[in-house]
Structure 1
Amino acid sequence: MTDAITRVRELNLYRQYFDLAAGDIIRFRIKGTDATCAVRVGRVTEYVDFAALLDGEGAANVNPTATRDEQLADIRAIYPPEKEALGALAIEIVLL
């Protein structure tokens, strides 16, 4: 029996892509290659900040390998307060 490994991926979005809606398709591409992975957006939920996102989605659903406080600290280490003030999105996706 093998243990499943949880991989965490970061996705930076330009503001124009915050208009995602349920039913839209996102095609992820490995930069510089033709390799892609398509997913359908199941749900998009907007939150006022990172804490609200973790509370609303459940920290274990965002990253099961870290506590809520660890995740919040990690996210805030990447994004300064002025970026967090723009809000946060939770995007539920389904692999096609």
Structure 2
Amino acid sequence: MSNTAPRVHELNLYRQYFDLVASGEKTIEVRVRYPHLADLASGDTIRFRIKGTDETCEVEVRRVTEYPDFEALLDGEGPSNVNPTATRDEQLTRIRAIYPPEKEALGAMAIRIDLLS
């Protein structure tokens, strides 16, 4: 049994991804395995914010799965769960535009999320 209480993490999102999360269409958030996300766990809350605005939405973390790279993540999670509006190849291109190779080398995280009302 864990003695760790659920935490609230604040993360920024681009508008197009924020809208998919806020509508409940996007159920997997992709991140690099940065040290500040190492303690992210099931039951935690993520408050997504569009950078430079007060617009937020909150989700509950259901699970966190680590992958060696973004290709493995998309294959393991299914592209439609990550972004239902783009093909696998489009998503891979977009993710790698956000995270260059040196960031991807840290590893990829698939964060299964459920929108909180």
TM-score range, shorter chain: 0.7 to 0.9
Question: Within the alignment, does 1:92 sit opposite 2:101 as a pair?
Answer: no
Which residue number in structure 2 is paired with residue 24 of structure 1?
44
Which residue number in structure 2 is paired with residue 15 of structure 1?
35
Pick from 36, 46, 57 the counterpart of residue 37 of structure 1: 57
Higher strand share: 2
Pick from 94, 99, 104 the counterpart of residue 74 of structure 1: 94
Identity %: 69
CA RMSD of aligned residues (A): 2.5
- TM (norm. structure 1) is 0.74
Matches within 5 A, 1:41-56: 41-56=61-76
Question: Residues 89, 11 of structure 1: CA spacing in aligned structure 2 closer, same or farther, 3 A cutoff?
Answer: closer
Instruction: Report the residue type matching 1:80 in the other structure.
Output: P
- TM (norm. structure 2) is 0.62
Instruction: Report the residue type matching 1:26 in the other structure.
Output: I
| 5+ residue gaps, structure 2 | 1-15, 19-28
How many residues align? The count is 89
Question: Residues 78, 32 of structure 1: CA spacing in aligned structure 2 closer, same or farther, 3 A cutoff?
Answer: closer
Question: Residues 29, 79 of structure 1: CA spacing in aligned structure 2 closer, same or farther, 3 A cutoff?
Answer: closer
| 1:41 aligned counterpart, secondary structure | strand
Question: Residues 65, 95 of structure 1: CA spacing in aligned structure 2 closer, same or farther, 3 A cutoff?
Answer: closer
Question: Residues 62, 29 of structure 1: CA spacing in aligned structure 2 closer, same or farther, 3 A cutoff?
Answer: closer
Residues 66-75 or 44-53, more deviating: 66-75
